[in-house]
């Protein structure tokens, strides 16, 4: 039962352009959403989060958008940098249980 | 910046043996978690732990699994009788200072290989 889905396994973007990573979820009870970045051989690192009462949260180059009616969230990175190349996971939670998507591998081409 | 540490980084164990994975969460955090990621698959929630007891667990976390906070700093995951399908990366995470919906800070994981 995959409650959080990332349908694009990979994405390539030119340096300086915008990266848009997408995530869909099925459980309307989710009230907190997060994006994590993961490098090989390391644990996921928290990037940005959004509560279900908001539709946008911004932190520097990273912006997360939440569309509750569509059960969709996205992460925008602008401008993209080569150091952003990693696997990005979205996660959703209700209570103390977090559900992760399968990840999108982002490659930023210099 | 404080971080979550996990030991060992790689554990190789014979099938049927018990294994204990160790984690030291961030010191002032109150919520603790274990996840696993089978190679090529998604990160899967196993269990959350708060106030010295399990607060939530997934269907993966069956009777073969147990967690413990034996002292004020360590948080352990025990697998009683390992199976081949237990081979995965196991991540420990901690969060919060009393609020469950806080970003989780992850360790770098323990790669468990069952032979």
Please tell me chain B's helix, strand, coil percentages from 3-state DSSP, rounded to the nearest 5: 5, 50, 50
* Triad B5, A75, A32: Cα angle to 5°: 65
Query: Mean pLDDT for each consecutive 10-residue tract of chain A (110 residues)?
Result: 87 97 94 91 90 94 96 97 96 82 94
Judged by average pLDDT, the poorest of B44-53, B83-92, B98-107 is B98-107
Which tokens belong to B96? 């919060």
pLDDT on residue B70: 85
How many Cα atoms are found within 13 Å in the side-chain-facing hemisphere of B44? 17
Mean pLDDT for all residues in chain B: 90
Name the residue in chain A with its Cα closest to that of B103.
Answer: A46
Q: Which residues of B touch A31 (CB under 8 A)?
A: 101
pLDDT on residue A1: 61
* Burial label, A83 (beta-carbon count in 10 A; 0-12, 13-18, 19+): exposed
Name the residue in chain A with its Cα closest to that of B100.
Answer: A96
Q: Residue B66 pLDDT more than 80?
A: yes
């Amino acid at each position: 039962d995959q409650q959080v889905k990332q349908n694009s396994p990979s994405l390539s973007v030119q340096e300086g352009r915008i990266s848009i990573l997408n995530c869909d979820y099925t459980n309307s009870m989710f009230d907190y959403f997060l994006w994590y970045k993961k490098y090989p051989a390391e644990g996921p690192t928290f990037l940005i989060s959004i509560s279900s009462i908001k539709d946008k949260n911004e932190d520097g180059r990273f912006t997360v958008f939440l569309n509750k009616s569509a059960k969709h969230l996205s992460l925008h990175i602008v401008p993209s940098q080569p150091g952003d190349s990693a696997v990005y996971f979205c996660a959703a939670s209700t209570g103390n249980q977090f559900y992760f998507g399968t990840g999108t591998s982002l490659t930023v081409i210099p | 910046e404080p971080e979550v540490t996990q030991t060992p980084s790689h554990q190789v164990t014979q099938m049927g043996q018990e294994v204990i994975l160790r984690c030291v969460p961030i010191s002032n955090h109150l919520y603790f978690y274990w996840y696993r990621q089978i190679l090529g698959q998604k990160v899967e929630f196993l269990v959350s732990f708060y106030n010295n007891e399990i607060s939530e667990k997934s269907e993966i976390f069956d009777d073969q699994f147990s967690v413990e906070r034996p002292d004020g700093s360590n948080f352990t995951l025990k697998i009683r009788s390992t199976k081949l399908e237990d081979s995965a990366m196991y991540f420990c995470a901690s969060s919060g200072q009393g609020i469950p919906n806080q970003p989780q800070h992850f360790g770098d994981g323990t790669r468990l290989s069952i032979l």
